[in-house]
Amino acid sequence: MKQPLSRREFFKAGAALTLGAAAASLAAGCASFGRRAPQKAALPRRRLGRTNFQAGVVGIGGAGFLTDWSDEEAVAALLQEAVALGFNYFDTAPNYNNGLSEQRLGLIMGAPNRSELFLAGKIEDRSYDGALRQVEGSLRRLRTDYMDVVQFHQFPLDERENNEEALVRLAAPGGALRALERLRDEKVVRHIGITCHPRLDFGVTAIERFDLDLVLLWVNPTTDGRWAEERMIPAAQKKDMGIVAMKSFGGADYPVKLPGGGHPARLIGDGPGHASQDALLRYSLSRPIALSCPAIRNRDELLSNLAVAQRFTPMTDAEQAALIEQVNAAPPA
């Protein structure tokens, strides 16, 4: 009698079937790009904490062109170009446009150079069984049999989850942490992480208490961004966690109605309450982080982020103080 498939074998088989049935032609194109002579890596790299992955200092966030563009071949082409330029960290989540972000990243996850890419996923479900189901669904959409990290998405979610009871439930036998630990043992998940928003103290407690490898947190000159820097970054540094910045450009005010979708960059602009893209990204990269991971809407934004990273020099204390004063002078419009 045949032995039942292990969970990893099941995921691997499912990923292969999805790849063959849903995206054969696009996957073939992406596989061929993985075999081409690589361009000279243009994006500087930093160590991603105790994962020891050498990550490009700017990643690709899971919104923007990944969820807004209708032309899937154009999405694949921009992803291929990003990889050729040295972008190797990709962030996504199942709730980014109902899984479309994951499906789009799946266009490059079948390439021969998959091991050179760092795929960061998320789960919202806090239960054991729910976490397993969410990871299984994500792997199917991503057309891969493993993720480099799966993160608890926005823990605590809000004040209702900002308490000791929520932490206990997460780590209990029926909690999502135990599910991710099992998947890590089975090598379906390489690392476990968390994403945190400001002013929720139990996010800091989770970093301190659990065996986590990576944290995604706010880094920008706003009051909320600096709260995260002052409270969360030191806790993560003590454990040598990989530290990834989000909201470097401020994030979006919702609902957002702009051509091409939501603009994840509300701080970019002129006058009080705003700053240039260059200054904001340079501020983030001057903090003790591995990388910043903003969403991009188009190729111009990809190349702009690349240019800032290539010419990066750390901000002086005086430059940081001036930028903080400018950004907090008035609420962004």
- Transcribe 222-284 into DSSP letters: SHHHHHHHHHHHHHHHHTT-EEEEE-TT-B--SS---TTS--SBTTBSSSTT-B-HHHHHHHH
What digits encode the pLDDT tens for the residues 190-210?
A: 999 999 999 999 999 999 999
- Residue recorded with tokens 């509300």: 266
Domain that holds residue 38: 7-327
pLDDT band at 266 (very low <50, low <70, confident <90, very high): confident
Question: What CATH number did the domain enclosing 132 receive?
Answer: 3.20.20.100
Q: Between these two residues, 250 and 31, which has the higher pLDDT value? A: 250
* Token representation of residue 126: 């806090």
pLDDT band at 27 (very low <50, low <70, confident <90, very high): very low
Please list the alpha-helical segments (H only) found in the chain.
7-22, 24-35, 65-68, 72-84, 100-105, 128-142, 164-171, 176-185, 201-209, 223-238, 277-285, 299-310, 317-327
pLDDT above 90 for 25: no
Q: Which of 114, 112, 69, 72 is nearest to 90 (CA)?
A: 114
Inside any domain, residue 332 = no
The overall pTM is greater than 0.85: yes
Inside any domain, residue 28 = yes
pLDDT above 50 for 19: no
Inside any domain, residue 53 = yes
What digits encode the pLDDT tens for the residues 39-68?
A: 555 899 999 999 999 999 999 999 999 999
pLDDT given for residue 34 in this prediction: 46
pLDDT given for residue 265 in this prediction: 76
Domain count for the chain, please give it.
1
What digits encode the pLDDT tens for the residues 224-265?
A: 999 999 999 999 999 999 999 999 999 865 433 333 444 457
pLDDT band at 320 (very low <50, low <70, confident <90, very high): very high
pLDDT band at 21 (very low <50, low <70, confident <90, very high): very low
Residue 36: Cβ-neighbour burial (10 angstroms; 0-12, 13-18, 19+): exposed
pLDDT band at 79 (very low <50, low <70, confident <90, very high): very high
- Whether the CB-CB separation of 275 and 323 falls below 8 Å is answered with yes
pLDDT above 60 for 309: yes
pLDDT band at 185 (very low <50, low <70, confident <90, very high): very high
pLDDT given for residue 36 in this prediction: 43
pLDDT given for residue 287 in this prediction: 97
Query: Three-state SS for 80?
Result: helix
What CA–CA distances, in Å, run from 263 to 65, 101, 231, 301, 331?
11, 16, 28, 12, 17
For 126-157, b where at least 16 C-beta lie within 10 A, e where not — what string?
Answer: bbbebbbebbeebbbbbbbbbbbbbbbbbbbe
pLDDT given for residue 35 in this prediction: 42
In which element (H, E) is residue 121 found? strand 118-123
* Token representation of residue 201: 């103290």
- Within 8 A by CB and 6+ apart from 126, the residues are 152, 166, 169, 170, 175, 176
Give the Cα separation of 2 and 124 in Å (integer): 35
Q: Which of 165, 158, 153 is nearest to 214 (CA)?
A: 153
pLDDT band at 331 (very low <50, low <70, confident <90, very high): low
pLDDT above 70 for 182: yes
In terms of phi and psi (left: phi > 0; alpha: psi -120 to 50; beta: otherwise), the region of 13 is alpha
Inside any domain, residue 1 = no
Q: Poorest-confidence range of 18-22, 200-204, 288-292?
A: 18-22
Query: Three-state SS for 289?
Result: coil
